[in-house]
Structure 1
C-alpha cells in the first residue's frame, strides 16, 4: 500500500507540472522550452517538499518511540529496585529469625560442653582416688619393715592404714579449667626442700628486694583481698594534633604500709598463683563504669582496659566476663580489651572462642607488650584486634637486630589495610614525635603527653563494682627491707606418694576453695549453680 501511494503521488505531481507547463505555453504565450523548464522546476520543488515532509514525520515517530522506550526502561528499573529492597528485607528478617531460633540451642550446646568437661574432670578425680585406695593395701607391707615395728603391732596397724577400709571418696571439688598445672605446683609429690628464712629471691622486682617470694606473694594477695588498688588513666593522642582519642586504664596496688605496686611488680606473682581473675573482675567492672562516664560527655573518646591472659584462661572468669559484657553492649564501641603479646601467643582454642563470643557482642581488642614485630595482621584482624601498641624504641630501632619481619616504616600502612590502628607507646621526647611522623604514625602515648593519673573518687562513687568485702587479714609482711627471720608454716599435709592431678584435687580440696575466697562475688557462681541444678 505505501508503494502504490508513492506512485500515485508521483503521478499527481507529474500531472500538475505538465498542466502548469501547458497553461504557460498555451495561455501565457511562453515559449515551449521555457514552459517545460517551469514545469520541471515545479515538479522538482514538489518532490523536495514531499521528501522533507516524509523525513520530518519519520523523525517525530522515532522520537516518540524512543520516549516510550525510555519511560518503559525507567519503570522497569524502579520495579527491579523495589524487588531488590524486598529481597534484602526478606533476607534480613530470615537471618534474624534464624539467629533468634538457634541462639538458645547454641547456648545449650555451650553449657552441655562445659558440663561434659566438668564431668570428665570429676571422673578423673574419682578414678585417681579409687586407684590410690586399691593400691594402698599392696604398698602397706613394704612401707613398714618388721624389724623396726614394736611388739604390739596389731594395735598400731589400724591407726596407720585407714585407707584399705574403702571409705566412700569425698565429694569432688569443682576443678576449673587449666587448674591442673597450679595443682601440680602446689601439690608436688616430691617433698619440698626446707625453706631458708634469710634467703631473698633475686628474681623479684626491686620493690621486693630483700624478701622471699612467699613474702612478696603475701603482700600482693593481701592488697587484692583488701581491695587496695587504684585505677590510673593515661591518654592516647592523635599525631600531630595531639587530640585525646583513647584512655589507657591500668591498676596499681597499695600495700599495707602505703607502697605503690606497679603492674610490672605484681603481675607475674599474681598470674602464677591465680590471683589475677579476682583483680581483673574488679578492674573490668570499674572500666565499664568509667567508660560510661566518659561517653556521656564525649562520644569520640574511648577506654582501653588491660586484662591478663591468665584470667582469660580461667573458665569461671571467662563465663562471667562474657555475661557482664553482654549486658554492657551499649559501651562496646568505646571499650577495648587489651592483652599482652605473649599472652595472645599462649592462648588456647577455647580462649580464642571466648574472644569471638565478645566480637559477636561488638567488642574489639588491643595488643600491647609487643617484644618483636613478627606480627601477622590478618590473623589479628580475624581475632578481633583493632589496635597494636608498639614501643617507640622498637619502632625507631633504625636497623638494629630486633627480630624484624617488616620495616617499621611500613607498619602503619600494613595494619591500616586490615583495619588495625598502630599506637606507639613510651614516647618521651619531641624528637621521637618528629621521627614517628616520618613513619606516618597516627597515634601516640607516653609521658611526653601526660603521665598516668588516678581516677577521681567521685567518678567511682556512683556504683561500687561487685566484689568480695575486705577480709580481716592476719598480720602480713610489709614492704620493709628486713628479711623474714622465721619460715612460713606450710598448712598443706605432706604428700604420701605419687599423685595424679585429680587425686591431688581430692586430697587438697582447699586449693580451689581458697581461690574462690579471693575471687569477687559472682565469678563462677552462675556456672556452679548450673552444674548443681543439672547434675
Structure 2
C-alpha cells in the first residue's frame, strides 16, 4: 500500500513538471525542479501523517498495558489478602478441637456399645428385677437435681447493714491459677466483714440467703468499685488482669442497680474484658426475662460470666458460650470422687469438649497435692482453693508470692 502511494506521488510530481514546462513556459531545469519540490513536499506530508498514526497507536498500546498492570496489581493485592488470611488461620488449634471431638465421640460410641451389650444381656437372661433397678436408676439420673441447701449466716442482716454503714466491709483477693506452672490466671474478689473486735468474717457467715436484697446490692456495688480500681491500676502498670466479681439476682433485678452497673462498664470499656461476674448456678437458671436482658447487655459491654457451684455438666455448652460464659466452676473433691454425677463423658474428655466452645472448667476447693495431680490427668488446668492460696489483702503488684512450690500464699500488704 505504501509503495502504491509513493508511485502516485511520483506520477503527480511528473504531471506537475510537465504542466510547468508546457503550460507555464518553464525551462526544462525549472520544470524538473518544480516536480522534485512537489514530490518532496508530498513525501514529507505522508511521512508526518504516518508518524502521527504510529505515535497514536503506541499511546493506545501503552494505555492498554497500564490497565493490564493495574488489573494485575489488584489481583496481586487480593491474592496477598487471601494469603494473609490463610496465614492467620490457627490450623493447630482447629486440629486439636477436631481431635478432642473425635476422642469424645469414640468414648461415647464405646460407652453406648457397652450399654447396649449390657441391656441385651439382661434382656436375654430375663431378669425383671434387674430391669426395674435399671429403670429406677435411669429415672433417678434424669430427675432434676435437688436444690442446694446452703448454710444460714451466723451474723444477722441488721448487724451486716450496720457494718456496711460503718464502712467495715473489705474485699480480699484469692488467685485462680493455671496448672502445672501455677501462674495466676485471675483473682476472685472475696468480701469480708470486719467485726467490732477486729476479726474478719467470711462471706458464708454474713451474706444473707433470704431477704436483705439491699444488703447484697450494697456489697456487690462496693465489689464493682473495688474491681474497677484494681483493674485501672493494673492496666496503668502495664499488667492487665482478670477479676472475678460477685454478682447475684439482687443486683440484676433492681433497675437502678443494673443501670449503674451498665454505666460503670460503659465508662470502663478498656478494662471490661478483664471483668468476669461470678454468679451461682441457682441464680443463673432462675433468671427472669428482664434479668437475662441485663446479662446480655453486660456481655455486649465486653464483660463475661463464671458460673459458681455447677452441679451437672449435662448442659448446652454452646448456648452458654453464646452468652459469654467463660468458665464453669465445679467442686474438685466431688468431681474426683464421682465424675459420673457431673457428666456421662469420660472424666479425661469432658474438659477438652467444653474447651472447644472457649469455656473453661475451673475446679474449686483444692485441698491437697493429690487432687492437683488427678485434675491434671483429667485435663483440668484451672484451679483454686486453700491449698493454692488463701484470700488475702490486695498488694500493689496484684501477684501471688509462693511460700513453697506446692502452696503459694499472699502477702499481707494493704492497698
TM range (shorter): 0.5 to 0.7
Q: Please, what TM-score do these two structures have when normalized by structure 2?
A: 0.58
Match of 1:373 in 2: 313
1:365 Cα deviation from its structure 2 partner: 1.5
8 Å CA contact retained: 1:295, 1:302: no
**Equivalent in the alignment of 1:447:** 386
Where do residues 8-47 of structure 1 align in structure 2 (5 Å cutoff)?
A: none
Pairing of 1:463-502 with structure 2 (within 5 A) = none
Deviation of 1:306 after TM superposition, in Å, equals 1.4
Q: Is the 8 A contact 1:352 1:383 kept in 2?
A: no
Q: Is the 8 A contact 2:213 2:250 kept in 1?
A: no
Q: Counterpart in 1 of 2:352?
A: 413
2:158 is aligned, of 194, 202, 218, to 218
Structure 2 match to 1:392 = 332
Corresponding residue of 1:17? none
* Count of paired positions: 266
| Larger RCO, structures 1/2 (Cα 8 Å, 6+ apart) | 1
Return the match for 1:283 from 223, 247, 258.
223
* Distance in 1, Cα, partners of 2:282 & 2:68: 61
Query: For the Cα contact (< 8 Å) 1:388–1:420, is it kept in 2?
Result: yes
Partner of 1:329: 269
Does the CA-based 8 Å contact 1:312-1:318 persist in structure 2?
yes
Note if 1:236 corresponds to 2:176.
yes
Q: Counterpart of 2:208 in 1: which secondary structure?
A: helix
Counterpart for residue 251 of structure 1: 191
1:351 counterpart = 2:291 = yes
Measure how far apart 1:224 and its partner are: 1.9
| In 2, Cα distance between equivalents of 1:325 and 1:242 | 30
**Given the superposition, is the C-alpha separation of residues 228 and 456 from structure 1 closer, same or farther in structure 2, using an over 3 Å criterion?**
farther
Q: Name whichever of 75-84 and 362-371 sits farther off.
A: 75-84
Structure 1 residue 307 corresponds to structure 2 residue 247? yes
In structure 2, how many angstroms separate the alpha carbons of the residues matched to 1:405 and 1:272? 39
Report SS of the residue matched to 1:251: strand
User: Which of 358, 363, 380 is matched with 1:424 structurally?
Assistant: 363
In structure 2, do the counterparts of structure 1 residues 271 and 373 end up closer, same or farther at CA, with 3 Å as the change threshold? farther
Q: CA deviation at 1:383?
A: 1.2
Q: Please tell me whether residue 79 in structure 1 is matched to residue 55 in structure 2.
A: no
Q: Residues 252-310 of structure 1, C-alpha deviation per residue, up to 9 Å, x if partnerless? A: 11233444332222223475443211121111011110122223335353211112222
Does the residue aligned with 1:393 lie in a helix, a strand or coil? helix
Alignment CA distance shift 1:83-1:335 (3 Å): same
Contact 1:234 1:248 in 2 (8 A): yes
- Partner Cα separation in structure 2 for residue 309 and residue 425 of structure 1: 22
After superposition, where does 1:135-284 map in structure 2 within 5 Å? 204-205=152-153, 207-208=154-155, 216-269=156-209, 272-284=212-224
Does 1:338 pair with 2:270? no
TM-fit CA distance, 1:73: 8.7
Structure 1 residues 359 and 458 mapped into 2: Cα distance closer, same or farther (>3 Å)? closer
C-alpha distance 273-421 of structure 1, shift in aligned 2 (>3 A): closer
Contact 1:373 1:406 in 2 (8 A): no
Rounded Cα–Cα distance in structure 1 between residues aligned with 2:175 and 2:211: 26
Change (3 A) 1:457 1:242: closer
Deviation at 1:247, TM superposition (A): 1.0
Q: Give me the whole-angstrom Cα distance separating, in 1, the residues matched to 2:365 and 2:69.
A: 61
| Change in 2 beyond 3 A, CA 1:284/1:399 | closer
Distance 1:298 1:407, change over 3 A: farther
Shift of 1:241: 0.9
The residue that corresponds to 1:68 in the other structure is none
Which string of whole-angstrom CA distances, capped at 9 and with x for unpartnered residues, describes residues 315-334 of structure 1?
A: 11001110111001010222
Distance 2:298 2:79 in 1: 33
> Residue 117 of structure 2 aligns with which residue?
none
Gaps of 5+ in 2: 1-65, 82-150, 399-415
Q: Deviations over 1:332-359 (max 9, x none)?
A: 2222111111110111121121122122
Asked whether the 8 Å contact 2:278–2:306 carries over to 1, the reply is yes
Cα distance in 2 for residues equivalent to 1:85 and 1:278: 55
User: CA 1:224 to 1:434, structure 2 compared with 1: closer, same or farther past 3 Å?
Assistant: same
Gaps of 5+ in 1: 1-70, 87-202, 209-215, 460-535
The structural deviation recorded for 1:418 is 0.9
Q: Which residue of 2 aligns with 1:157?
A: none
User: Please, what is the CA RMSD of the aligned residues?
Assistant: 3.2
